[in-house]
């Protein structure tokens, strides 16, 4: 019976994945057809009107926050204490479904009016806790095959990983207490000493209780304030305690059928770790090793040029994990790839560029090392892991709007480059593209002068017209008239951009379907999301965002 429950749980989760896969496949097919049809059609009027029922679903379910407008804006007790974010409405529905499934499988058809009820619940909660380790590992994996297959971003997987982990710990605690309490009540003269004696005499009980303690520790040290304040310590402890818990569970389940589910989780975890090691070795080892050249830019920004030993074609929206052993041997941090350059014919090497904002921890230490170096330029050995992400494509949209807040420009620059270059070669449907960038000071424009000139130079190679607008909004105090513009097509304004006016203006001149991509802080993204939800039903508009909330 317990194994049947495990199979039901995995079947239900598999059906959920299948539904998302069908949705993703239909979406890809729609985008492919729209892209092909739009290549030779300058107006693309067929794709402008919104689909009534799809617009309703997007407005009230798919794009909707759990309550009102707040989704990625973090709850903060202070500037230093971050309490995390709320899941979206569709995420909440799925989480409620997972919780309801676990409760049902643990409590339905239990003989409550007999003395066997507690024992049945004990076995079921233990089995479900072990079974849930399989999806738990998949959701935590950077290399999970489900990410590109379903086109679901890693931060969403990480959200479900955290909530499913809480369910696992809750089931483990119920499993433990439904054994401990009856054991202590069996002989009132001994009481809880009976539990202690079993702990001392039985490896089965001892390994199970310690494993449960390991998982409780994982829960206690994982809240957002601790995770963000001490991320590197958190990560190493998390991996160590998870491995400890798995090892103890293996002893606890020795010879039992549930051990096969634990084996599945261990195999998945081992395969993912092995894939990461192989990727790191392939990307960084050749006739030369990966080197990083770091220089300081205005406003606390570091530009990192990574010279890779092998050719590497970077797709828009991808990010990498960067290791710099001289700064932190076992630590890696995610950064968006904002630019790449291919080597000349003599050497097949790719240089990829990162723009990194100085914060605490790793980036602060790195910035201090750069500041002490000659001419504020530092060359170091580095290790690159990736690429990851890049699941969104804007190739099928006739009208594209890119909203970037501050350092969020690093995510959008490759999309702008890709679309302009694709339009010149006739491989994308875009006819209008608008980049809206909100920055605090005009010195931020120095970050990408040469790159923007290269992008706009590609625009002149097109045989068909492409409207490119670059709108920069400086939210700090400055005189716009004295700000040096990187290119003539860059328009500079003061104050915060009106997302509603910008989206409505583009909708009035819309060509084909509209794709809106946003990357900024939580409140910035939530404001753009609100405007895009409000516009659903008036025109065909798809909304994407990149927030790195994990």
More confident residue, 545 or 550: 545
**pLDDT in the model for residue 486:** 59
**Are 105 and 235 in the same domain?**
yes
Could you say which of 337, 359, 389 is where a domain stops? 389
**Average pLDDT of span 412-424:** 92
More confident residue, 229 or 311: 311
Specify the CATH number for the domain of residue 438: 3.40.50.80
Domain that holds residue 335: 291-389
**pLDDT in the model for residue 381:** 92
**Are the CB atoms for 516 and 478 separated by under 8 Å?**
no
Q: How many domains are contained in the chain? A: 3
**Are 384 and 404 in the same domain?**
no
pLDDT at 505 over 80: yes
Structural tokens at position 462: 């097109």
- Cα–Cα distance measured from residue 90 to residue 63, given in angstroms and rounded to the nearest whole number: 8
- Cα–Cα distance measured from residue 470 to residue 449, given in angstroms and rounded to the nearest whole number: 13
Please name which of 161, 51, 153, 35 lies closest in space to residue 517, comparing C-alpha atoms. Answer: 153
- Cα–Cα distance measured from residue 477 to residue 496, given in angstroms and rounded to the nearest whole number: 11
**Are the CB atoms for 512 and 466 separated by under 8 Å?**
no
**pLDDT in the model for residue 490:** 82
Three-class SS state of 305: strand
**Average pLDDT of span 43-58:** 90
Is 428 among the domain residues?
yes
pLDDT at 195 over 90: no
- Residue 214: partners with Cβ closer than 8 Å, 6 or more residues away: 241, 242, 244, 245, 248
**pLDDT in the model for residue 447:** 80
Q: Is 526 exposed, middle or buried (0-12, 13-18, 19+ CB in 10 A)?
A: buried
Three-class SS state of 208: helix
pLDDT at 515 over 90: yes
3-state helix, strand, coil in the chain (%, to 5): 55, 20, 30
Structural tokens at position 427: 């491989």
What backbone torsions phi and psi does residue 486 show, to the nearest 5 degrees? -60, -40
- Residue 118: partners with Cβ closer than 8 Å, 6 or more residues away: 178, 182
Three-class SS state of 339: strand
**Are 186 and 151 in the same domain?**
yes
Tell me the pairing of strands 339-342 and 333-336: unpaired
Whole-model pTM: value is 0.91
**Are 124 and 144 in the same domain?**
yes
Is 59 among the domain residues?
no
More confident residue, 122 or 228: 122
Is 371 among the domain residues?
yes
**Are 346 and 460 in the same domain?**
no
Is 374 among the domain residues?
yes
**Are 448 and 519 in the same domain?**
yes
pLDDT in tens, 353-389: 999 988 878 888 888 998 888 788 899 999 999 899 8
Give, in order, the Cα–Cα distances in Å from 508 to each of 59, 502, 534, 535. 20, 10, 15, 12
Is 56 among the domain residues?
no
**Average pLDDT of span 18-26:** 95
**Are 242 and 118 in the same domain?**
yes
**Are 83 and 220 in the same domain?**
yes
pLDDT in tens, 293-350: 999 888 888 999 999 998 888 899 999 999 999 887 778 889 999 998 876 656 667 8
**Are 443 and 480 in the same domain?**
yes
pLDDT at 146 over 80: yes
What backbone torsions phi and psi does residue 322 show, to the nearest 5 degrees? -110, 130
Question: 126-163 burial string, b = 16+ CB within 10 Å, else e?
Answer: bbbbbbbbbbbbbbbbbbbebbeebbbbbbbbebbbbb
Could you say which of 227, 252, 279 is where a domain stops? 279
Tell me the pairing of strands 541-545 and 514-519: parallel
**Are 357 and 453 in the same domain?**
no
pLDDT at 36 over 90: yes
- Cα–Cα distance measured from residue 195 to residue 484, given in angstroms and rounded to the nearest whole number: 75
**Average pLDDT of span 256-271:** 93
- Where would I find the H helices in 376-521? 409-425, 449-459, 499-508
Query: Of the given ranges (101-110, 119-128, 144-153, 435-444), which has the lowest mean pLDDT?
Result: 435-444
Is 25 among the domain residues?
no
**Are the CB atoms for 444 and 298 separated by under 8 Å?**
yes
Specify the CATH number for the domain of residue 313: 2.40.30.10
pLDDT in tens, 430-461: 999 999 999 888 878 878 777 887 887 766 66
Structural tokens at position 380: 């170091």
Could you say which of 325, 360, 389 is where a domain stops? 389
**Are 301 and 162 in the same domain?**
no
Q: Residue 389's beta-bridge partner residues? A: 318
**Average pLDDT of span 43-67:** 90
Average pLDDT, the chain: 88
Gap between the terminal Cα atoms of the chain:
37
pLDDT at 548 over 70: no
**Are 496 and 363 in the same domain?**
no
Angle at 272 between CA 412 and CA 98, to 5 degrees: 80
Please name which of 289, 265, 311 lies closest in space to residue 131, comparing C-alpha atoms. Answer: 265
- Cα–Cα distance measured from residue 46 to residue 44, given in angstroms and rounded to the nearest whole number: 6
pLDDT at 544 over 90: yes
**Are the CB atoms for 287 and 309 separated by under 8 Å?**
yes
- Cα–Cα distance measured from residue 418 to residue 457, given in angstroms and rounded to the nearest whole number: 13
Is 62 among the domain residues?
no
Percent over 90 (pLDDT), the chain:
54
Q: Which helix (H) or strand (E) holds 333?
A: strand 333-336
């Amino acid at each position: 019976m317990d194994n049947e429950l495990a199979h039901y749980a995995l079947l239900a989760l598999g059906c959920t994945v299948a539904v998302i896969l069908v949705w993703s496949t239909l979406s890809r097919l729609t985008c492919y057809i729209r892209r092909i049809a739009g290549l030779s059609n300058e107006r693309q009027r067929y794709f402008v009107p919104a689909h009534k029922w799809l617009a309703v679903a997007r407005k009230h379910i798919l794009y909707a926050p759990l309550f009102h407008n707040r989704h990625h804006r973090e709850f903060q007790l202070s500037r230093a204490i971050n309490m995390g974010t709320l899941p979206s409405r569709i995420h909440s529905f799925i989480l409620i479904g997972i919780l309801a499934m676990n409760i049902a499988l643990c409590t339905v058809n239990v003989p409550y009016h007999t003395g066997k009820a507690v024992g049945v619940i004990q076995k079921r909660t233990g089995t479900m806790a072990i079974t849930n380790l399989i999806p738990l590992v998949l959701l935590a994996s950077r290399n999970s095959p489900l990410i590109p297959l379903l086109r679901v971003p890693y931060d969403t997987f990480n959200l479900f990983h955290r909530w499913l982990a809480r369910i696992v710990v809750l089931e483990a605690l119920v499993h433990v207490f439904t054994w401990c309490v009856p054991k202590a009540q069996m002989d009132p003269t001994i009481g809880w000493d009976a539990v202690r004696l079993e702990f001392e005499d039985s490896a089965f009980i001892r390994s199970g209780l310690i494993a449960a303690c390991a998982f409780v520790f994982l829960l206690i040290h994982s809240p957002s304030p601790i995770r963000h304040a001490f991320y590197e310590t958190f990560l190493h402890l998390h991996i160590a305690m998870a491995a400890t818990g798995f090892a103890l569970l293996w002893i606890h389940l020795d010879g039992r059928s549930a051990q096969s589910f634990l084996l599945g989780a261990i195999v998945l975890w081992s395969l993912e770790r092995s894939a990461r090691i192989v990727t790191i070795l392939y990307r960084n080892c050749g006739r030369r090793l990966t080197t990083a050249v770091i220089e300081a830019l205005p406003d606390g920004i570091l530009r990192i040029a990574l010279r890779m030993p092998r050719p590497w074609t970077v797709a828009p929206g991808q990010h990498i994990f960067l290791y710099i052993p001289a700064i932190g041997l076992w630590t890696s941090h995610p950064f968006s790839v904002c630019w790449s350059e291919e080597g000349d014919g003599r050497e097949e090497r790719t240089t990829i560029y990162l723009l990194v904002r100085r914060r605490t921890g790793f980036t602060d230490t790195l910035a201090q090392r750069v500041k002490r170096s000659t001419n504020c330029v530092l060359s170091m050995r580095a290790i690159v892991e990736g690429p990851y992400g890049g699941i969104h494509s804007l190739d099928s949209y006739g009208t594209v709007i890119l909203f970037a807040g501050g350092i969020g420009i690093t995510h959008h620059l490759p999309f702008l480059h890709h679309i302009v270059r694709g339009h010149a070669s006739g491989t994308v449907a875009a006819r209008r593209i608008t980049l809206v960038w909100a920055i605090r000071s005009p010195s931020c424009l120095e970050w990408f002068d040469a790159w923007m000139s290269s992008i706009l130079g590609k625009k002149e190679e097109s045989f068909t017209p492409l409207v490119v607008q670059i709108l920069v909004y400086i939210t700090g105090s400055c005189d716009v008239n004295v700000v040096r513009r990187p290119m003539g097509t860059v328009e500079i304004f003061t104050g915060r951009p009106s997302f509603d006016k910008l989206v409505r203006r583009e909708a009035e001149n819309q060509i084909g379907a509209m794709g809106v991509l946003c990357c900024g802080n939580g409140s910035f993204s939530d404001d753009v999301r609100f405007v895009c939800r409000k516009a659903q039903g008036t025109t065909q508009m798809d909304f994407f965002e990149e927030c790195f909330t994990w």
